[in-house]
């Protein structure tokens, strides 16, 4: 189990002797100074060869460093390499597990501590459904469980390979079962770093819109509690962040999404509504998941609500969409009258909501708890269709 970083020294002295304790204390000081994090922990690891290492988890991002006798780790674990920056700071042999093909180890996979239920109406179907978020074993990822037409239940992985519809929202399908409008829930799970969860659907097959943002799902996950997940053997499983290796672009008309290799994740969204003066633009918003104190998915991205243009609603209703939309669960803007249900939560709330959607759609490219890719992803006037197309392209280049 991960222990609070402030409780390192005493138990380590008992288990590992003073030399490793001193290293751990040194790294603790370094970690505190660099990341100034309130969250973190320590996980002793004993390899099959008897070599003892210690993983220090630092910060909300879950960066993990191994700490131990370098010769043991390198000799018996060929994928371990020296993390020279931390080594220089602590003047000790600090190693980080790396595997260039499978991504960089960046913590352990998580799940929810207990199950939690929310109910609400779907934006497009207008049907109420009950959603229960269930803890899931490490390595199983995220999936939806939905009742099929013959009373049997079907499990649908939250993965781009199962995407069946991207008109105004994203749906996944397996067999004769579909789950609609998965993006806000997936955005919350990705934004908070919940890697393994089963989403049980009852009553309807559309994820409830709640207040139009991802805040309700963030609150549900936090209420349930986010904890390290264990596999079938009761072991924690490493999560591996992926790094984009080359530039990826997808485009449709003047809309596009591009990904650039980057040392850390960044997401930028641009919108432009010259025909709707109250929105106008172009507006740009950048979110950096690992920026540290003062920036968080919960406060900066999750509260941004779905928005729509009033004059387009009739057309969408005729097409059988937005049956569950209302002034309570979506921001509505009129071409002639401006915002019909202010105030906005942020001056650029529509732009932030598009970034929320992008995070939810990119979560469909998740592998082994990979989380946000080490890439700067920039989207402009894009749609769910383009987000998903980009997520597929991204998987090919990491």
Residue closer to Zn ion (CB basis): 124 or 240: 124
Residue closer to Zn ion (CB basis): 93 or 306: 306
Of 130, 390, 141, the closest CA to residue 256 belongs to 390
How many angstroms separate the CA atoms of 217 and 192, rounded? Answer: 10
Q: Number of helices (H) and strands (E), helices first, in the chain?
A: 10, 25
The piece of 18-26, 93-101, 119-127, 303-311 that touches Zn ion (CB under 5 A) is 303-311
| Alpha-carbon 279 to chain mean position | 27
Point out which residues pair with 255 in neighbouring strands: 252
| Shortest spacing between CB 45 and Zn ion, in angstroms | 40
How many angstroms separate the CA atoms of 161 and 388, rounded? Answer: 10
Residue closer to Zn ion (CB basis): 68 or 325: 325
Is 60 an active-site residue?
A: no
| Shortest spacing between CB 331 and Zn ion, in angstroms | 11
| Shortest spacing between CB 169 and Zn ion, in angstroms | 7
Contact 141, 157 (CB under 8 A): yes
Alpha helices in the chain (DSSP H): 9-16, 18-35, 70-76, 84-90, 183-192, 215-224, 297-300, 313-318, 349-362, 384-396
Instruction: State the DSSP code for 130.
Output: E
| Shortest spacing between CB 42 and Zn ion, in angstroms | 39
Of 146, 124, 100, the closest CA to residue 398 belongs to 100
Tokens of 266: 């960044």
Residue closer to Zn ion (CB basis): 289 or 325: 325
x/- site string to Zn ion, residues 261 to 300, per CB under 5 A?
A: ----------------------------------------
| Residues that contact Zn ion, how many (by CB under 5 A) | 2
x/- site string to Zn ion, residues 306 to 345, per CB under 5 A?
A: x---------------------------------------
x/- site string to Zn ion, residues 339 to 358, per CB under 5 A?
A: ------------------x-
| Shortest spacing between CB 384 and Zn ion, in angstroms | 8
CA-to-CA dists, residue 55 to 2, 89, 90, 209, angstroms: 9, 17, 15, 39
Does position 92 interact with Zn ion (CB under 5 A)? The reply is no
Residue closer to Zn ion (CB basis): 170 or 370: 170
Q: Which residue is at the shortest CB distance from Zn ion? A: 357
Binding site for Zn ion (CB under 5 A): 306, 357
Catalytic amino acids? 384
């Amino acid at each position: 189990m991960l222990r609070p970083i402030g409780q390192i020294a005493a138990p380590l002295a008992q288990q590992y002797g003073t030399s490793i304790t001193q290293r751990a204390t040194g790294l603790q000081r370094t970690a505190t100074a660099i990341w100034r994090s309130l969250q973190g922990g320590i996980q002793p690891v004993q390899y099959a060869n008897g070599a003892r290492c210690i993983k220090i988890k630092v910060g909300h991002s879950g960066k993990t460093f191994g700490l131990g006798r370098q010769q043991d780790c390198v000799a018996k674990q060929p994928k371990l390499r020296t993390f020279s920056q931390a080594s220089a700071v602590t003047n000790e042999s600090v190693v980080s597990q790396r595997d260039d093909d499978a991504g960089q180890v960046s913590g352990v996979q998580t799940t929810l501590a207990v199950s939690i239920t929310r109910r609400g109406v779907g934006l497009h179907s207008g049907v109420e459904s009950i959603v229960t978020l269930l803890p899931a074993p490490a390595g199983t990822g995220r999936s939806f469980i939905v009742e099929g037409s013959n009373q049997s239940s079907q499990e649908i992985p939250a993965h781009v390979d199962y995407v069946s519809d991207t008109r105004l929202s994203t749906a996944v399908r397996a067999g004769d079962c579909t789950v609609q409008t998965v993006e806000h829930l997936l955005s919350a799970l990705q934004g908070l770093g919940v890697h393994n969860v089963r989403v049980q659907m009852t009553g309807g097959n559309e994820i409830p819109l709640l207040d139009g943002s991802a805040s309700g799902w963030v609150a549900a996950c936090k209420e349930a509690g986010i904890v390290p997940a264990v596999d079938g053997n009761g072991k924690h499983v490493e999560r591996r962040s992926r790094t984009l290796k080359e530039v990826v672009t997808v485009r449709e008309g003047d809309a596009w999404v591009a990904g650039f290799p980057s040392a850390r994740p960044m997401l930028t969204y641009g919108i432009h509504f010259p025909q709707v003066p109250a929105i106008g633009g172009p507006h740009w918003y950048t979110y950096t998941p690992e920026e540290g104190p003062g920036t968080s998915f919960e406060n900066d991205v999750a509260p941004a609500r779905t928005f729509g243009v009033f004059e387009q609603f009739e057309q969408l209703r005729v097409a059988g969409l937005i049956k569950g939309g209302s002034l309570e669960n979506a921001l509505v803007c009129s071409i002639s009258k401006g915002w019909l249900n202010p105030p906005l939560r942020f001056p650029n709330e529509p732009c932030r909501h598009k970034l929320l959607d992008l995070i939810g759609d990119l979560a469909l490219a998740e592998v082994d708890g990979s989380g946000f890719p080490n890439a700067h992803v920039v989207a402009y006037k894009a749609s769910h269709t383009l987000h998903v197309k980009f997520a597929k392209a991204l998987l090919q280049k990491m």
